[in-house]
Amino acid sequence: MPHPETAILAEIANETVQRIFNFTQMFFFALSYMSSWEAIATNVGLAFYNGGPRALVWGCFIVFPGVLCQVASFAELSSIQPIAGAQYHWTWHLAPARYRRSITWFQGWITWFSWISLLAGVVNIAANVTTTIITANHPDYVVKSWHTILVMWAYLLVLGLMNMYAFWIIPYVEVFAGIIHIGLWISMASVLLALAPRHTAEFVFLQKANLSGWENDFVSFNLGIVLITWGFVGFDASAHISEETRRANSTIPKTMFWGIVANMLLAFGMILIFMTCLGDVDALLAAGYPLIAICLNATNSVAGASALVGGNLMTVITATIGRLTFSQVFPNYLPIDANYMNYALPINALIWIIALVTWFAWARNHWPGLNIELIDKIVADGD
Helices (H), the chain: 6-13, 23-34, 36-42, 53-58, 60-80, 87-94, 100-137, 145-165, 170-195, 201-206, 217-224, 226-230, 248-277, 281-286, 290-299, 302-316, 322-329, 348-358, 364-366, 372-381
Q: Taking the model in full, what pTM does it have?
A: 0.80
Q: Are the beta carbons of 233 and 114 closer than 8 angstroms?
A: no
Report the first-to-last Cα separation within the chain, whole angstroms.
Answer: 30
Identify the CATH number of the domain in which residue 296 sits: 1.20.1740.10
pLDDT computed for residue 16 by the predictor? 53
Exposed / middle / buried, residue 342 (Cβ in 10 Å: 0-12, 13-18, 19+): exposed
Classify residue 181: in a domain, yes or no. Answer: yes
* 196 inside domain: yes
pLDDT at 13: 46
In a domain? residue 237 = yes
CA–CA distance, 219 with 200 (Å, rounded to integer): 25
Report yes or no on 26 lying in a domain: yes
Contact 138, 302 (CB under 8 A): no
Q: Do 333 and 374 touch, CB atoms closer than 8 A?
A: no
Query: In this predicted structure, what is the pLDDT of residue 254?
Result: 94
Among 65, 372, 87, which residue's Cα sits nearest to residue 239? Answer: 87
Please give the pLDDT value at position 352.
Answer: 66
Could you tell me if residue 265 is inside a domain? yes
The verdict on residue 272 lying in a domain is yes
Q: Residue 120 has what pLDDT?
A: 78
**For the chain, which ranges sit under pLDDT 50?**
1-6, 8-14, 320-347
φ, ψ of residue 82 to 5 degrees: the values are: -80, 100
Q: Is residue 379 part of a domain?
A: no
Residue 322's domain comprises: 18-360
Q: State residue 301 phi and psi, 5-degree precision.
A: -140, 125
Helix 302-316 × helix 170-195 angle, to 10° = 150
How many domains in the chain? Answer: 1
Nearest to 306 by CA among 153, 132, 165: 132
DSSP three-state, residue 245:
strand
What are the pLDDT digits (tens) for 284-319? 888 878 888 899 999 999 999 999 888 888 877 765
Instruction: Give per-residue pLDDT as tens, 16-30.
Output: 567 888 899 889 888
Asked if residue 376 is part of any domain, the answer here is: no
